[in-house]
Amino acid sequence: MFKLPLDKIVNTDDLERSARRCLPKMLYDWIAGGAGDELGLRENRDAFARFRFLPRYLRDVGACSISRRLLGRDYGGPLGIAPMGYAGLFRPQAELFFARTAKRHHVPYIMSGVSVASMEAAAEIAGENLWYQLYTTADDAINVDMIRRAEACGCGALVITVDIPVAARRERDIRNGIDIPPKLSARTVLDGLLHPAWTLRYLGTGGLPVMENWAPYLPKGASGLDVAKFSIEHGYALQTWDHLRRFRQLWPGTLVVKGIMHPDDARLAREKGVDAVIVSNHGGRQFDRAARSIDCLPAIRKAVGAEFPVMFDGGVRRGSDILALMCLGVDYVFAGRPFLYGAAGHGQGGVDRAMEIFNDELSGLMRQLGCLDIEDPNLETFMTNNLKRYPRGE
Ligand SMILES: Cc1cc2nc3c(=O)[nH]c(=O)nc-3n(C[C@H](O)[C@H](O)[C@H](O)COP(=O)(O)O)c2cc1C
């Protein structure tokens, strides 16, 4: 039942095992689970198994660049950290760990609209590497104020998540009694006792943490529970293209829409002045029979053209997954769970380790293949021919 020490962590699955050992079952399930039968969850990951690479040998592979230019900025690698709500519940300060890792590796971290730490605290660490993800609220004054705050603290992009028109049915969470307030049963108490390090941290930091981005909209001193209830009542509101148009007017910087699957939505987003999309099925968490995000890429690329940034998340667990996506013409990649597992099991060191594993696997594979630059315009020639049905902008 003991977790591996950090220096024995070899891959991102090891980080998941650590998190599983450290977290009460209901919290581990909350991260790991997907909607319905979890078919979509499994398929996200399995989708990468079909890709094969073609090496070129007798090349000097001493230097290898994974730097990636995106939306007018040069990033240190092609992989950023996806938004994950309530991360600070799994490990206090998790969002600040993400911010620090993003800064160290000079990549984006998208802070969830339902985070524990505030965007101001994360921006102090990450600067413009922090992107802020807004969940539209029913109270427009809150939307306006959150956008104003994101601009004031220097966030590098505003991300609008569009794939939650209704609450998801994740059956593990229903069975485990995940709710606001959390349902306490003999089983959950025992679960807590069996994971004393998490329980002591939870109790030691005052129980259910306050979501700092929302706290300013409640009376001073509101509890974590009050803030959570308020965010549920006001957040996840009805969202239409009109909202997006308004956000475009309010936000002067880079605007990204996350959760796009349909080519017509991608085209509409572009027409409404959005700067980039993230193709995503929310990590298989919203509905089970979602199309595989990777299968949506060719039509979306065709709809938006060769130059429009198309990003991706879902099931990325290996450096080879990142390279496959880049060969398919994806401009940038995000991963979620591996970073949260890293934080839950090992704190800051676990988040850093997740990023190192991804980048080491990626650059190791590139050297093996004789591919020296992730921005190589002929990157797709490193993949076998059967994948040429995904060409950029065809
Ligand atoms: C615990 C958890 C919480 C999440 N919360 C959010 C969120 O607040 N906002 C959002 O846009 N996506 C959220 N997501 C989805 C992720 O941003 C991302 O799309 C997904 O996790 C990618 O799949 P992966 O975990 O397989 O990498 C969450 C995912 C997880 C696992």
For residue 285, the CA-to-ligand 1 centroid distance in Å is: 8
Q: Does the C-beta of 142 come closer than 6 Å to ligand 1? A: no
The pLDDT value recorded for residue 393 is 44
d(CA 386, CA 267): 27
Q: Does the C-beta of 94 come closer than 6 Å to ligand 1? A: no
Of the candidates 280, 86, 84, the one whose C-alpha atom is nearest the C-alpha of residue 178 is 86
Q: Are 134 and 151 in contact (CB under 8 A)?
A: no
Q: How far is CA 299 from CA 154, 221, 261, 314, 394, in A?
A: 34, 49, 9, 18, 9
Q: Which two tokens stand for residue 104?
A: 């160290």
| Tens digits of residue pLDDT in 207-224 | 999 999 999 999 999 999
At 180, the pLDDT band (50, 70, 90 cuts) reads confident
Q: Which two tokens stand for residue 145?
A: 């104020």
Known catalytic residue: 106?
A: no
In a domain, 194, yes or no: yes
For residue 282, the CA-to-ligand 1 centroid distance in Å is: 6
In a domain, 393, yes or no: no
Q: Which of 105, 106, 234, 282 is catalytic?
A: 282
Q: Which residues constitute the domain of residue 103?
A: 6-387
At 294, the pLDDT band (50, 70, 90 cuts) reads very high
Point out the ligand 1 atom lying closest to the alpha carbon of residue 313. 22
Rounded to a whole number of angstroms, the distance between the first and last alpha carbons of the chain is: 51
For residue 340, the CA-to-ligand 1 centroid distance in Å is: 10
CA-based max dimension of the chain: 67
Q: Is pTM beyond 0.95 here?
A: yes
For residue 98, the CA-to-ligand 1 centroid distance in Å is: 14
CATH code, domain with 159: 3.20.20.70
Please state the three-class secondary structure of the chain as a single string.
Answer: CCCCCHHHCCCHHHHHHHHHHHCCHHHHHHHHCCCCCCHHHHHHHHHHHHCCECCCCCCCCCCCECCEEECCEEECCCEEECCCCCHHHHCCCHHHHHHHHHHHHCCCEEECCCCCCCHHHHHHHHHHHEEEEECCCCCHHHHHHHHHHHHHCCCCEEEEECCCCCCCCCHHHHHHCCCCCCCCCHHHHHHHHHCHHHHHHHHHCCCCCCCCCCHHHCCCCCCHHHHHHHHHHHCCCCCCHHHHHHHHHHCCCEEEEEEECCHHHHHHHHHCCCCEEEECCHHHCCCCCCCCHHHHHHHHHHHHCCCCCEEEECCCCCHHHHHHHHHCCCCEEEECHHHHHHHHHHCHHHHHHHHHHHHHHHHHHHHHHCCCECCCCCHHHHECHHHCCCCCCC
Q: Are 304 and 311 in contact (CB under 8 A)?
A: no
In a domain, 178, yes or no: yes
The pLDDT value recorded for residue 234 is 86
Residue 188 above 90 pLDDT? no
Domain count, the chain: 1
Residues in the chain: 394
Q: Does the C-beta of 84 come closer than 6 Å to ligand 1? A: yes
The pLDDT value recorded for residue 236 is 76
Q: Does the C-beta of 112 come closer than 6 Å to ligand 1? A: yes
In a domain, 394, yes or no: no
In a domain, 349, yes or no: yes
| Tens digits of residue pLDDT in 25-43 | 999 999 999 999 999 999 9
d(CA 112, CA 356): 22
In a domain, 1, yes or no: no
Residue 286 above 70 pLDDT? yes
Residue 387 above 60 pLDDT? no
In a domain, 392, yes or no: no
Mean pLDDT of the chain: 94
Q: At what angle do helices 337-346 and 25-32 cross, to 10 degrees?
A: 160
Ligand 1 pocket test: pick from 112, 114, 279 the residue with the most ligand atoms within 8 Å of its Cβ: 112
Q: Does the C-beta of 82 come closer than 6 Å to ligand 1? A: yes
In a domain, 276, yes or no: yes
